[in-house]
Amino acid sequence: MAEALNEKIAAVTGAASGIGLAATQALLAEGARVVMVDRDETALAEQVSRLGDRAIAQVTDLLDPESCKSMVPEILEKVDHIDILHCNAGTYIGGDLDETDPDTIDRMLNLNVNAVMKNVHGVIPHMKSRKTGDIWVTCSVAGHSAIPWEPVYSGSKWAMTCFVQTMRRQLREHGIRVGQVSPGPVVSALLADWPEENLRKAKENGSLIDPGEVADALIFALSRRRNVTIRDMVVLPTNFDI
């Protein structure tokens, strides 16, 4: 049985594009207010202007330690509470490990892993005090299967799968649900870093999904009654062969 998300307050990272924007639009359609978190101030302003007054801009650079640490306090200066935190921002590295460089690896792990852990760490005291909340992470099918052409990315998403499972157990007694949505290839800017041959094949055989499909899965999970936690949702293109 579904519960209404009307008047809930959500914070979504990486909200100016891709899955984050689709999630924002889906939450708004359900009657929620959404704090859109992104480092791209211009894109954020454009989307907030387009989406209306229930969309609220929060400029945060998750790769900047001070900006990342300030995210939750700054959000709570704009809204009086956070019902939903969707940790969605991320980046991608594909190819053999020796084809990349240490700085690029650091950047990806800082965004895909460290920032998520810091954001969750920042919101826990607030949600514990309210004895309720939902924390959702955008993971990947790469967090459930070892993808040979993306060892760094896949490694970061396996870390998130473990993190979600451990945090669900830590926080369930406080009324806080924790889960993840793990999409296969999604039509987004991240695919620009895919190996060209893999991307060509995916386009030709229909092995891509739209960000809105991921957002639909998120809404399904968030709208379950509080005695139900959807911990893992893997959303794949039907023709994706993993």
Residue type, 14: G
Angstrom distance (rounded) from CA 49 to CA 43: 10
Based on the residue annotation, tell me whether 92 is a catalytic residue of this protein. Answer: no
Q: What is the CA radius of gyration of the chain?
A: 17
Catalytic choice (153, 154, 155, 167)? 153
Q: Is 95 left (phi over 0), alpha (psi -120 to 50) or beta?
A: left
Beta strands in the chain (DSSP E): 9-13, 33-38, 55-59, 84-87, 133-138, 176-183, 232-235
C-alpha angle 145-165-231 in degrees, rounded to nearest 5: 85
241, 207 contact by CB (below 8 A): yes
CA distance 49 to 42: 11
Which residues does the annotation mark as catalytic?
Answer: 153
